[in-house]
Chains A and B, each alone.
Chain A
Amino acid sequence: MGLEDQLQENVMTTKVDAMVGWARKNSLWPMPFGTACCAIELMATLASRFDLARFGAEAIRFSPRQSDLLVVSGRVSIKMMPVLKKIYDQMPEPKWVISMGACASSGGVFNTYTLVQGVDQYIPVDVYIPGCPPRPENVIQALIKIQEKVAQAKAN
C-alpha cells in the first residue's frame, strides 16, 4: 500500500469494522438472567477457577442498559417471560443472547403447563448451550462462539 513504508511500525492500518469488532468481542458486558441451577454454574464460570475475565467478559452488569450480552440461565415461566422480554428490550444495540442449559433452550424436563418451551420463541438467541446444567467449559465455549460472531458484526 505504501503507507506502511512511510509510517513504518508506528501505525497499523485496518478496517473500522474489524477494529470495533475486536474491541467489542474482548469487552462483553454480560447481563445474567439467572433463574435456576444454571446460574450457579454461570457464577462458577465467573469465579477464579474458570475466570471469565480471561475473555474480557467479567464485568457482570445487573442493569440491562449497561449490558450487551444476555445470558438466560434457567427456567422461564410464562409469568417470567414478560420480564425477560422487557430486559431484552432495554438492552442497547448491538446485543447478543446466550440460551444456557436445557430449560432455557427447550423447556428441558419441565414439559408442563407453565413453562416456556424455549426462550427463542420470544427473543432471538445467538448461541445455545446444551447441558443440565452445562459445565463452565461449555459456557466458555459459548462465549468464544459469541466472540466469533461479535467480531464479524458490522460496526454501525
Chain B
Amino acid sequence: MIKINELTKEYYSGSERVLAVNNISLEIEDNEFLTIIGQSGSGKSTLLTILGGLSKPTSGSIIVDDLDIYSLSSKQLARFRHEYIGFVFQSFQLVNYLTVEENILLPLSITKIKDKAQKSLAEKCLASVGLAGKSKRLMTELSGGEQQRVAIARALINDPLIILADEPTGNLDTETSAAIMKIFFDLKSFGKSIVMVTHNKDYAKYGDSSIELSDGKIINQTGYTASRLHENKAV
C-alpha cells in the first residue's frame, strides 16, 4: 500500500512561488489502478515524480510498505526505485543507440543476474507486450506504439510492485492508445499497482479509481471511499 500524507511541493519560477502539489493525502491499495487526470500544469507529473522517489517533496511523506521513502539515503532511494518502481514516460524515453532487448534489460545491467537469465526474462517481457521477435531492432526501426510497448516491457523487467505511467498514450494515435491502455489494464492481473497520469478523461475508465487535479489540489475523485481519501484539507 502507498500512503500519501499531506504532500506539498513548491518551487520558485524566478521570484514567483509555485505550488505544484498542494497538501494532497490519499492511499493507493495493492493491485489498484489509479488514474490521475487534469489539465497541463495541474501538478499530475510532479505528483508522479514524487511518488517515484525522484523529487523530494517540500513537506509531507510517502509511505510504501511502511517505508517512508524520503527518509532514505540517495543510495537507498535509488535501490527503492530499482526494486519497487517501473516508469513509463509519455515520450517513451528509450535509449536510441541500444536495441529493443538492450533497452528492456537496462534495469538489469546493474544486477548480478546472468546474461542467459536476463535474455530469457527479456523474451518473456517482449512477448507480454506483443513484440516477440523484435529484440534486435533499433528504436528508429519501430513505430511509436511499438516503442511504448518496449518502454512498458522495460518497466516490467525487474518485476516492480508499482508502475508509474506519465501520459503513456500522449504521443500515440487513438487505435494504438487503446491497445496500450489494454496492456496497462492487463497488468493488474500480474498484481501490480498502477498509477497513470493522463489528460484524457476517457482513459480514466480503465482504472479502479481516479483523482482529478487542478492547481496542485484534488478537485474530484471517483472510486474512493471517505476513509481512503483521508483528511485532505485541499478538497
**Do A and B make up one complex?**
no
